[in-house]
Chains A and B, each alone.
Chain A
């Protein structure tokens, strides 16, 4: 029997596995693809304390996984698609099997939010992207659009400005939400055009690939077509909590309601990292959550 089933092997899940195994518990990580989560897609990480030189997100995730594994954490490379958390023991179902656990830590994180525009799904990999560092190179020397105003959008625009001819940064507000350090860096770049107070309303395509976007100025209602080979969408994240099918209390956006203790609406079930309600979703807060949840799980199992 698994003492602690940890769903999701991003930074929160990996830290939970590290702390749980060191507490003498049998911890099993369930991961739909492979360890790392959103961290593995981060090209440069500059704000993880102790790493003075920027480090690759994948390398940090790899180190976290090796560390957790070295203390005995197990990994099951299967996606948990449904749960029975009220049962004793708790049940997890994957497309390949069923598992029982005495306690559960949900650390499934979040994924990039889609714009919900017509053609968005079909054009994925044909000019629509949610990962600038993955796909930017395909658009070397071309004109591209970044949509969003947070840290991801800002970092994407800076990265793309180095390899693309021109970058349009489309944001629905008249100022960026991104951390101050990005503002100065963006201002110094000549090939970025800011499209403030604007919304992407249409994806234009020719021959099955993206050829541009139509944006609407929210102040004037004027429409403008931008010729672009790619659009990089960074308009926030959506929690990966659908598989719970309402088993835990969430807020309207789908984030599991839990404070820094990670305690959820069901005893023995904890929520760590980006999937829970919190003010700051970063690697450093995710790993802290993982550690706390492992301790809470240990206390629950001892009671």
Chain B
């Protein structure tokens, strides 16, 4: 399972992270988000040590959703050195996510 991060630990876990970080902005009421969840969980394990994977619940952390202009869920964002390197919107198959993060 990937860990849910919020405003309080976003800086530490995502922006100040040493390597690339994949963040899944999701909502508990969104069907495609629920469909994507098993893939995100699998990637958390498969990419351990290479890419950190976290989730942001946009209802719990509306400030983060606003800061990164998230206006569709699920939105996946790849962060590196505190900046957004890439993003994709909507539930996607695993190979597309791997391609986005260059893994």
* Chain A residues in the interface with B (C-beta under 8 A): 32-36, 40-43, 57-58, 77-79, 95-96, 124-127, 129-131, 133-135, 137-139, 208-209, 230
Could you say which residues of chain A place their CB within 8 Å of the CB of B72? 124-126, 129, 134-135, 138
Q: List 7 A-B contacts (CB under 8 A).
A: A41-B31, A58-B31, A58-B35, A77-B42, A77-B94, A131-B32, A138-B72
Could you say which residues of chain B place their CB within 8 Å of the CB of A133? 29-31
Query: Once the chains bind, are B94 and A126 in contact (CB under 8 Å)?
Result: no
Give 6 closest A-B pairs by Cβ, nearest first: A125-B89, A125-B72, A34-B35, A95-B95, A138-B71, A41-B31
* Chain B residues in the interface with A (C-beta under 8 A): 27, 29-39, 42, 69-73, 75, 87, 89-95
Query: Once the chains bind, are A79 and B71 in contact (CB under 8 Å)?
Result: no
Query: Once the chains bind, are B30 and A134 in contact (CB under 8 Å)?
Result: yes
When chains A and B are docked, how far (Å) is the Cα of A149 from the Cα of B98?
Answer: 37
How many cross-chain pairs have Cβ atoms below 8 Å apart between A and B? 84
Q: A32-B93, A77-B42, A125-B90 are in contact. Are A209 and B32 (CB under 8 A)?
A: no
Of A32, A134, A139, A230, the contact of B31 (CB 8 Å cutoff): A134
Could you say which residues of chain A place their CB within 8 Å of the CB of B70? 125, 138
CB distance from A133 to the nearest CB of B (A): 7
CB distance from A16 to the nearest CB of B (A): 19
When chains A and B are docked, how far (Å) is the Cα of A208 from the Cα of B71?
Answer: 12
When chains A and B are docked, how far (Å) is the Cα of A78 from the Cα of B95?
Answer: 9
Query: Once the chains bind, are A33 and B36 in contact (CB under 8 Å)?
Result: yes
Could you say which residues of chain A place their CB within 8 Å of the CB of B42? 77
When chains A and B are docked, how far (Å) is the Cα of A41 from the Cα of B35?
Answer: 9
Q: A124-B90, A125-B90, A134-B73 are in contact. Are A79 and B31 (CB under 8 A)?
A: no
Query: Once the chains bind, are B95 and A41 in contact (CB under 8 Å)?
Result: no
Closest B residue, CB atoms, query A126: B71
Q: 12 new A-B pairs (CB below 8 Å) besides A79-B95, A134-B33?
A: A34-B39, A40-B35, A58-B34, A96-B94, A96-B95, A125-B70, A126-B72, A127-B71, A129-B72, A134-B72, A134-B73, A137-B27
